[in-house]
A and B are shown apart, each in its own frame.
Chain A
């Protein structure tokens, strides 16, 4: 965990006071709605269909139990008793009142969390691997660098009014859980031949109306140059990114229009002109940030404790363990994913009571730490294996032990037309129906890893382009229709899915998905050939034939 110091605390308190003044000026009419809009967006406040929506950043997906309890408090005190975890390590509250927002922010500031820059045309919450610091094989903890970037991007005087929003993601593992290739800047931590830490820098990824997979702009930027190199990219973008058309304003369009070589040479020129800037990080500065992270004091524990051996006789426990428990870098410990995808529930939602209960379990079993992943699930990152049976029972009681992590019912979905003023179609009821269709966890287990992503409009908050099965809501003559793609993925081999056929009406979506899954089961070469691999091997055609033959 990163511990805020007096300076970090002062800054967010100053931000809260500034926002309090802005809300006061809006309520008194001193600020027009147009003027206020940008200011509230920079504080994570959207105007949705029914009310203001309030988005809070969970930088690089790390939360303390104290912070989670405070989120539960905000849900209860200022909202309707629940929150929604998003695909970018944020949490959203959907029913907040404008006049109460400054107080909610002040309550959050007390535990070192805020909503700065969770919307608006600025640098957004820096996201990372939710298993950072605990994943086996990780090169080093990417959160040190995420925190350096968080500070660098917070209230940046030059880049707070960019052409469009701007998102960073960092990974330090061979397997990318942070989806860096669909970010404006993706950073892959690795070491050079001298053993020094640096980053492969990717640029111009993003979904939305014009999806692109990010391209490598520089294979190795030394860690000490990370901030200056990023500043060079942002400066080129700030000056040359398009501002004439909101749909062409993301950096991906600039990179696409210039071509990656030309864009890279512009950045290189800017970076060289900056010379040895004040942004160059010397080792002591990096150490200073590193020293603010605390790590658990792990015990020396056996690989296979007696408690686990005994619990293995219970098939329900075993099914959950095999699905939701992952290998930890420390022997005797495990990473436990908490599915926020119960059968029939809206993906990513957690009630205030659940949040409080998770905080308590984190204190008891995970050194007070919770993680949030872009798949809209939570994780307890440091659970002693001997505690797994007890933890499972406790999670099951609060509805958080659904053994469907990474399976077909572990659906990523945006809020859709039920909440969002941008949406063309509903997302949540589609997800709910699909979880009911695939409610049998043994069947889901046989199907294997399969990510379904649903977006209620082309803005792609549900990342449908990179779902193994992607579902996009569109509007046709006042009716909800859905385009379905297959073969997308968001990991280190990121790809955009391909359209399987004409859009289908709302009532047919679940049937089509079932048909796709059945086609896969018939087409796969062997049981462990994953859905995406079958699509990769055979292409869309055999799926199209089977699914549309009878339609």
Chain B
């Protein structure tokens, strides 16, 4: 499935290793939450970057102690109707200060890109090639945002306050 990062389709250097399968000696890998939590220190000590695929029905608290040593956290959208990972993403970014790659996986369509960007995702494994190709255009679809999130986009309320401030300063 195509991966979008920095608004471009890129080659995924991470290899997803199923539970029970042997890990390659080096190179970037993605492992499941279960496998990771069984022995996090050994996995983190391994040469090569490490990412964890975190399910959307498990609180992210268990992952928090390791965040600064993880290269990727991949959150799951089993269907696009299931929005639990949006909350997980915001908690990881805004409360726990995670600044590595935050990847959206599963049923990811272009119509979710703006929501995902706002929630803190910066990598998108899309189901369809056409959606991956449409990323750059779709991500710019909205220019007005009502809610403050950790993505730094200025909210409508703040823009109004700035406007008001500059108007009154000009008087």
Contacts and interface: CB of A to CB of B under 8 A. Distances in A.
Contacts of B81: 38, 121, 161
Contact of B115 (A39, A154, A160, A277): A160
Interface residues of A, number: 36
B87 A235 contact: yes
Contact of B159 (A7, A22, A39, A151): A7
Interface stretch (B3-11, B23-31, B141-149): B141-149
B86 A39 contact: no
Nearest to B78: A243
B109 A157 contact: no
B156 A161 contact: no
A440 interface: no
Contact of A5 (B59, B83, B87, B160): B160
Contacts of B84: 238-239, 243
A273 B91 CA distance: 10
Contact of B147 (A10, A17, A18, A152): A152
Contacts of B88: 239
B123 interface: no
A288 B160 contact: yes
B157 A10 contact: no
A255 B73 CA distance: 31
Contact of A288 (B111, B148, B157): B157
Interface stretch (A173-181, A278-286, A385-393): A278-286
16 contacts: A7-B159, A8-B156, A10-B144, A11-B144, A17-B141, A38-B81, A39-B111, A151-B157, A152-B146, A152-B147, A157-B86, A157-B116, A159-B86, A162-B83, A239-B88, A284-B161
Given A11-B142, A17-B141, A159 B130 contact: no
Contact of B95 (A10, A18, A273): A273
B52 interface: no
User: In this complex, which of A121, A152, A278 has the most chain B Cβ atoms within 10 angstroms of its Cβ?
Assistant: A278
Contacts of A279: 147-148
A151 B155 CA distance: 10
Nearest to A42: B111
Contacts of A160: 83, 86, 115
B119 interface: yes
B82 interface: yes
B141 A11 contact: no
A158 B143 contact: no
A161 B116 CA distance: 12
Interface in A262-313: 273, 277-279, 284-285, 288
A157 B156 contact: no
| Top-10 shortest CB links A-B | A161-B83, A157-B118, A278-B148, A11-B144, A151-B146, A157-B115, A7-B156, A158-B86, A7-B144, A10-B144
B66 interface: no
Interface of A: 5, 7-8, 10-11, 14, 17-18, 22, 30, 35, 38-39, 121, 151-152, 154-162, 235, 238-239, 243, 273, 277-279, 284-285, 288
Contact of A157 (B111, B147, B157, B161): B147
Nearest to A17: B141
Contacts of A159: 83, 86
Contact of B87 (A30, A38, A154, A238): A238
B130 to A, nearest CB: 7
Interface residues of B, number: 36
A158 B146 contact: no
Contact of A238 (B80, B86, B141, B146): B86
A437 to B, nearest CB: 44
Nearest to B165: A284
A270 to B, nearest CB: 10
Most buried by B among A238, A239, A284: A239
A8 B142 CA distance: 12
B144 A157 contact: no
Nearest to B117: A157
A156 B95 contact: no
Nearest to B143: A10
Given A154-B146, A158-B90, A159-B86, 20 more contacts: A5-B160, A10-B144, A30-B130, A35-B109, A155-B145, A156-B146, A156-B147, A157-B86, A157-B90, A157-B115, A158-B87, A158-B115, A158-B119, A159-B83, A160-B83, A161-B86, A161-B115, A238-B86, A239-B59, A288-B164
B43 interface: no
Interface in B125-150: 130, 141-149
B114 interface: yes
Contacts of A22: 111
A29 to B, nearest CB: 12
B142 A158 contact: no
Contacts of A151: 146, 156-157
A9 to B, nearest CB: 9
Contacts of A35: 80, 109
A489 B116 CA distance: 41
Nearest to B147: A156
Contact of A239 (B87, B145, B147, B161): B87
A314 to B, nearest CB: 50
B54 to A, nearest CB: 13
A107 to B, nearest CB: 20
Given A17-B141, A151-B156, A238-B86, A161 B146 contact: no
Contacts of B118: 157
A154 B148 CA distance: 12
Contacts of B95: 273
B22 to A, nearest CB: 34
